[in-house]
Amino acid sequence: MPCFTFSQVNVFSADPFLGNPLAVVHGANALSTGQMSAIARWTNLSETVFLIKPTDPKADYAVRIFSPEVELPFAGHPTLGACHAWLATGGKPKNEDRIVQQCEVGLVSIRNNEARLEFAAPPLIRTGPLEQDVLNQIMKALSLSPSDIVHHQWVDNGPGWCAIMLHSARDVLALEPDWASLAPLNLGVIGLHDAGADATVEVRSLIGNGGYEDPVTGSLNASLAQWLIPTGLLPSPYVATQGTRLKRAGRVQLRAAAGDVWVGGEVVDVISGEITV
């Protein structure tokens, strides 16, 4: 039976057990979509990435990204984790100043600034205020009143994100979702930490299309920054913490530069070996 190099990395935390884990299968061109989906269900992580050869000559490598349920066009912590794993196994980018990843949404630029990897957020495919029926659904699912929601927006860059801002990080951490009422929305919730805290905001990623909370979510943090920095609701740079309710300690670095929003975080190796398919 064929064997493939396998990695498991931790993204958005230097502690190997406090960020968001990612499984990476290397050299996966020979795997079928069905095999990839089966492996992702077996790892049972929020995402499993398959490194394959790019079809775009501008790209250094390509990825296919699977959750246990579906294939995703883009995801943030898999982007940083896949890049780290590709570099760790000898990947050499075509350009010294950036690494280019190909995925379903197109080409994603990644920088290695030594302290951390960071990716340029892909364009939003849906934006604008949430419709009243969507807001009503969110308020019911989270037991909120209209006065609890300070701002709201569609921030979809592939996974279908919608988002609300609450008054404080404490309000964000106090939420107890009714998952049945939230489905099928994928919702990001954000609130400001108190002045003097070592991070700017707390984020929670509530996956109504599955009924679970994601520990640390690069795609959501990317799209939140694309909404909140240009509108002046958050400064650039800022730091988001995520995963607190799940006993994680994710930290996401966000900044705007030259028209792009860059999303950064630390990645560390946890498991290496082979997977037999």
147 part of a folded domain: yes
pLDDT in tens, 238-270: 999 999 999 999 999 999 999 999 999 999 999
SS3 95: strand
| Average pLDDT for 26-37 | 98
Which residues constitute the domain of residue 158? 132-257
Give the pLDDT confidence score for residue 211 in this predicted structure.
Answer: 93
- The yes-or-no verdict on residue 115 having pLDDT over 80 is no
Residues 137 and 113 reside in one and the same domain: no
Stated length of the chain? 277
Partners of residue 259 on adjacent β-strands:
none
Same-domain check for residues 91 and 137 = no
* pLDDT value of position 76: 94
Please give the Cα distance from 43 to 121 (Å, whole number): 27
Q: Alpha-carbon distance 81 to 21, whole Å?
A: 9
Question: Does one domain contain both 85 and 145?
Answer: no
> pLDDT class for 113, splitting at 50, 70, 90?
confident
The verdict on residue 126 lying in a domain is no
36 lies in some domain? yes
Residues 205 and 88 in one domain: no
Residues 271 and 89: their CA atoms lie apart, in Å, by: 13
Residue 127 lies in a domain: no
Residue 225 lies in a domain: yes
Q: Is residue 100 part of a domain?
A: yes
Give the pLDDT score at 232.
97
Rg of the chain in Å (alpha carbons): 18
Are residue 115 and residue 197 in the same domain, yes or no? no
Distances (CA, A) of 155 to 121, 142, 223, 235: 12, 19, 5, 18
> pLDDT tens, 207-235?
998 899 999 999 999 999 999 999 999 99
Across the chain, mean pLDDT equals: 96
Q: Which residue reads 């398919």 in tokens?
A: 277
The pLDDT of 84-113, averaged and rounded, is: 95
Residue 89: pLDDT above 80?
yes
What is the rounded distance in angstroms from the CA atom of residue 188 to the CA atom of residue 208?
10
89 found inside a domain:
yes
User: How many domains, the chain?
Assistant: 2
User: What are the angstrom distances between the C-alpha of 73 and each of 49, 108, 161, 166, 276?
Assistant: 11, 12, 13, 28, 26
CATH number for the domain that contains residue 149: 3.10.310.10
Do 195 and 99 lie in one domain? The reply is: no
pLDDT for residue 7 is more than 80? yes
Assigned token pair, 24: 């990476």
Interval 189-196 mean pLDDT: 97
Q: What is the pLDDT of residue 210?
A: 86
User: Can you state the angle between helices 76-88 and 218-228, rounded to 10 degrees?
Assistant: 120
Model's pTM, two decimal places?
Answer: 0.94
Distance CA 118, CA 275 (A): 28
Residues 119-170: pLDDT tens digits?
Answer: 999 999 999 999 999 999 999 999 999 999 999 999 999 889 999 999 999 9
Does 109 lie in the same domain as 57? yes
Is the domain of 268 the same as that of 253? Answer: no
**146 and 95 in a common domain:** no
CA-nearest of 223, 216, 271 to 241 is 216
Distance CA 152, CA 211 (A): 21
